[in-house]
Amino acid sequence: MELTDADLVARVLVNDDQHAFGELVRRHQSPVRGLLRQLTRTDVALADDLAQQTFLRAYKNIRSFRGEARFSTWLYRIAYNCFREDARRRKELVGIDEEQLQTQHDPQVASPGLRHDLMRALSLLPLNERSAVLLCCQNGLSHDEAARVLDIPLGTVKTNVLRGREKLKRMLADWGPN
């Protein structure tokens, strides 16, 4: 029988079992690295560095995980904090404004593919909308869980998701269903 995340966390807490923690890393590395790649605008090396920091921080602070949220939600929150701290250091927290967004989007330019355009459209969203859309629409978190991860009010998450989706739909209008 496969152990649940809670079982593995208990093993880490009680026996300092690093094999159990390794299993947790194996299970969650893909979504955490994926989220960080999107947040860093597909800077793979930076995203992986931040993902390593995320898991190391999770290991050191695993006693603060109370099991009130899913383990993945707790990890996303640490990942997002790592990203924000790094972004603050790099002074990249400022999103791209509407004007810049519109000038960069040119429907006449031939697109190499939907996936490429979607990634590009995502990277053009301001950070608050991008992170809300990624957590709720891509990673399947509820608005409430995303509010915990991003440490912002529930209403703000809903607004950011709505605005982000509207912008994405506008930017991908040529690809969408008729």
| 3 contacts another protein (rule: CB under 8 A) | no
Cα separation, 107 vs 111, in Å, equals 8
Question: Binding residue for another protein (CB under 8 A) from 21, 71, 76, 80?
Answer: 21
Asked if residue 43 binds another protein (CB under 8 A), the reply is no
User: Is residue 55 within the footprint of another protein (CB under 8 A)?
Assistant: yes
Please give the full DSSP string across 82-100, using - where no structure is assigned. HHHHHHHHHT--PPPPHHH
The reply to whether 42 sits near another protein by the rule CB under 8 A is no
Count of residues touching another protein (by CB under 8 A): 44
Q: Find the binding residues for another protein in span 112-171 (CB under 8 A).
A: 114-115, 118-119, 122, 133-134, 137-140, 165, 168-169
Residue in the block written with tokens 């695993």: 62
The reply to whether 29 sits near another protein by the rule CB under 8 A is: yes
Q: DSSP label at 41?
A: T
Report the distance separating Cα 74 and Cα 60, nearest Å. 13
- Give residue for tokens 């996936």: 115
Query: Does 98 contact another protein by CB under 8 A?
Result: no
Nearer to another protein, 26 or 91 (CB): 26
Q: For another protein, which residue of 51, 127, 141, 149 counts as binding (CB under 8 A)?
A: 51
Instruction: Classify the C-alpha dihedral 32-129-119-98 as positive or negative.
Output: negative
Q: How many CB atoms lie within 10 A of CB 131?
A: 26
Q: Which helix (H) or strand (E) holds 81?
A: helix 71-90
* DSSP SS3 for 109: coil
Q: Enumerate binding residues for another protein (CB under 8 A).
A: 6, 10, 13-14, 16, 18, 21-22, 25-26, 29-31, 33-34, 37-38, 48, 51-52, 55-56, 59-60, 65-67, 114-115, 118-119, 122, 133-134, 137-140, 165, 168-169, 172, 176-177
